[in-house]
């Protein structure tokens, strides 16, 4: 809650370098913004100087760490036009771009890249996998004025292409000509039955015949059993249904291809990438299991600057983070092993004590037994004699 109650602070004036512009940058000193309550909607946003990405690349970058080993929850950001009301920001608030990882169960582990185009949200047609481990990852989206894009994770390209190809912003360029029809006499049979092929005269044979080897049983009584008939068996000469062989169709014209025409609904747009107003960045997401840490937000027009910032932030901490986690896990493993060993040793000691007690008891018993043995043997002999007596008595009674 503490981290969340912090407000994102905008870097007021976009710090303009030679040609590159940083529109927004936020790096938290205390380790980022962390979601803190399970099964909750989060809505947090901050405003910066409104800009348009017309004629310029647009780079959105931030880090996400699912420290809690997330099962279901969003890890994406949204860029809004300035007109959005931050106080009333919710799932249906109109945004320009939604970008970042989204995980829910084993089925959904993707990077969302959603663009609002002419009032409608369009999801990417490709499946971009996100990271689902517990480490910090750097997510970068680059949208270029030539209507291409690139998605990077940890400063490595994971997807790229054309906006027009990978989203359904525009209707298709070509459609099947609704006027065109396959001509009635179009023969698209590649093979036909050979008209000259004739069924051989001796082809037709019954499928089943009376068993020629069957003999009427000797004790068969026609009056009692009815007239004897041999059982039916499969006819070895049966050839099945006759079909003429196939030959190439001399009239074959090839597969009919539906001619295409320019789609009258299609209008090219060379500025799909463009947003007139970008002025608010927000986290508007749902998390089943909280604990995700967001940090290192950056919006710029320079992919190089973004990469550098990525290197200076995520790039500097990733190895230490990994080492720390590994040593933590190593420590936990050792602790577990020690506990296991302790438990085993204790169990062993108990066993040994029991053994000793047992040994002592046995020794004592043996000593006593030694003294008693002679007496017992004598007694047993006597008893045996007696037993025999009762035995025979019983037998007699039986
Ligand atoms: C970022 O780091 C990678 C790996 O060390 C390096 O190859 C790349 O040139 C760096 N990028 C920038 C812009 O400094």
As a three-state string, the secondary structure of 169-185 is CCCCCEEECCCCCCCCC
Which pLDDT does position 159 carry in this prediction? 98
Task: Return the higher-pLDDT residue of 59 and 357.
Answer: 59
pLDDT band at 374 (very low <50, low <70, confident <90, very high): low
Which pLDDT does position 18 carry in this prediction? 46
Atom of ligand 1 nearest to the CA of 304: 13
Instruction: Identify whether the C-beta of residue 65 lies closer than 8 Å to the C-beta of residue 136.
Output: yes
102 is in an annotated binding site: yes
pLDDT, average across residues 86-114: 95
Whether domain 26-172+271-333 has CATH 2.60.120.200: yes
User: Which residues on adjacent β-strands are paired with residue 97?
Assistant: 79, 115
Q: Check the CA dihedral 74-79-85-87 and report its sign.
A: positive
Long-range contacts of 150-158 (CB under 8 A, 24+ apart): 150/303, 151/111, 151/113, 153/111, 154/314, 154/318, 155/307, 155/310, 155/311, 155/314, 155/315, 158/111, 158/128, 158/129
pLDDT, average across residues 85-92: 92
User: Which residues on adjacent β-strands are paired with residue 45?
Assistant: 282
Chain segment 125-150, per-residue pLDDT in tens: 999 999 999 999 999 999 999 999 99
Centre of ligand 1 to C-alpha 307, Å, is: 7
**83, pLDDT greater than 60:** yes
Quick count: other Cβ atoms within 10 Å of Cβ 308?
Answer: 13
Which pLDDT does position 367 carry in this prediction? 56
Which pLDDT does position 397 carry in this prediction? 42
Centre of ligand 1 to C-alpha 311, Å, is: 6
> Which residue has its alpha carbon closest to ligand 1 atom 6?
311
> Which residue has its alpha carbon closest to ligand 1 atom 12?
308
Which pLDDT does position 251 carry in this prediction? 92
Q: Check the CA dihedral 315-316-321-327 and report its sign.
A: positive
Centre of ligand 1 to C-alpha 153, Å, is: 14
Query: What is the DSSP track for 249-297?
Result: -TT--------EEE-TT----TTTT--S-EEEEEEEEEESS--EEEEEE
Instruction: Identify whether the C-beta of residue 317 lies closer than 8 Å to the C-beta of residue 80.
Output: no
**Proportion of the chain above pLDDT 70, given as a percent:** 85
Which pLDDT does position 388 carry in this prediction? 46
Is 395 strand, coil or helix? helix
Residue 268: which of 179, 97, 159, 147 has the closest Cα? 147
Mean pLDDT estimate for the chain: 87
Instruction: Identify whether the C-beta of residue 43 lies closer than 8 Å to the C-beta of residue 283.
Output: yes
Centre of ligand 1 to C-alpha 20, Å, is: 18
Chain segment 280-331, per-residue pLDDT in tens: 999 999 888 899 999 999 999 999 999 999 999 999 999 999 999 999 999 9
Which pLDDT does position 349 carry in this prediction? 85
* First-last CA distance in the chain: 91
Quick count: other Cβ atoms within 10 Å of Cβ 170?
Answer: 18
Residue 155 is given by DSSP the state T
In the structure encoding, which two tokens stand for residue 92, read together? 């249906």
Q: Which residues line ligand 1 (CB under 6 A)?
A: 155, 304, 307-308, 311, 315
Which pLDDT does position 348 carry in this prediction? 87
Residue 108: which of 142, 70, 138 has the closest Cα? 70
Which pLDDT does position 19 carry in this prediction? 78
Output the pTM of the full model: 0.68
**Proportion of the chain above pLDDT 90, given as a percent:** 66
CA gap 141, 155 in Å, rounded:
10
Residues 6+ apart with CB under 8 A from 144: 57, 150, 273
**14, pLDDT greater than 50:** no
pLDDT band at 365 (very low <50, low <70, confident <90, very high): low
Chain segment 154-191, per-residue pLDDT in tens: 999 999 999 999 999 999 999 999 999 999 999 999 99
Residues 6+ apart with CB under 8 A from 12: 49
pLDDT band at 372 (very low <50, low <70, confident <90, very high): low
- Helix ranges (H only) for 141-225 are 163-166, 222-225
CA gap 296, 64 in Å, rounded:
9
CA gap 115, 100 in Å, rounded:
12
CA gap 376, 118 in Å, rounded:
108
pLDDT band at 110 (very low <50, low <70, confident <90, very high): very high
């Amino acid at each position: 809650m503490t981290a969340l109650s912090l407000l994102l602070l905008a870097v007021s004036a976009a710090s303009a370098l030679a040609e590159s512009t940083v529109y927004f940058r936020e790096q938290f000193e205390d380790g980022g913004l962390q979601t803190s309550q399970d099964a909750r909607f989060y809505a947090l946003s901050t405003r910066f100087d409104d800009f348009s990405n017309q004629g310029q690349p647009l780079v959105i970058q931030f880090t996400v760490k699912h420290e809690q080993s997330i099962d279901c929850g969003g890890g994406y950001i949204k860029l809004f036009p300035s007109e959005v009301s931050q106080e009333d920001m919710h799932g249906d608030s109109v945004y320009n771009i939604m970008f970042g990882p989204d995980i829910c169960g084993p089925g959904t582990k993707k990077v969302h890249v959603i663009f609002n185009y002419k009032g409608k949200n369009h999801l990417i047609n490709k499946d971009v996998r996100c990271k689902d481990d517990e480490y910090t990852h750097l997510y970068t989206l680059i949208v270029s004025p030539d209507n291409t894009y690139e998605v990077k994770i940890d400063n490595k390209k994971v997807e790229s292409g054309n906006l027009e190809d990978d989203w359904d912003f525009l209707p298709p360029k070509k459609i099947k000509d609704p006027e065109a029809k396959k001509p009635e006499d179009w023969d698209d049979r590649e093979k036909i039955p050979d008209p000259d092929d004739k069924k051989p005269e001796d082809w037709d044979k019954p499928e089943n015949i009376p068993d020629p080897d069957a003999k009427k049983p000797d004790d068969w009584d026609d009056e009692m059993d009815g007239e004897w008939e041999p059982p039916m068996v499969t006819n070895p000469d049966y050839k099945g249904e006759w079909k003429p062989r196939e030959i190439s169709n001399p009239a074959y014209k090839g597969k009919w291809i539906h001619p295409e025409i320019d789609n009258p609904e299609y209008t090219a747009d060379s500025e799909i990438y463009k947003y007139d107003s970008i002025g608010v960045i927000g986290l508007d997401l749902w998390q089943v299991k909280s604990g995700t840490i967001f940090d290192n937000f950056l919006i710029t027009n320079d992919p190089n600057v973004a990469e550098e910032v990525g290197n200076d932030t995520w790039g500097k901490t990733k190895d230490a983070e990994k080492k720390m986690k590994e040593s933590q896990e190593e420590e936990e493993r050792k602790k577990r092993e020690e506990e296991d060993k302790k438990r085993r040793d204790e169990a062993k000691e108990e066993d040994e004590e029991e053994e000793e007690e047992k040994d002592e008891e046995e020794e004592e018993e043996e000593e006593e037994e030694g003294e008693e043995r002679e007496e017992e043997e004598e007694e047993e002999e006597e008893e045996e004699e007696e037993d025999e007596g009762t035995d025979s008595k019983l037998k007699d009674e039986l």
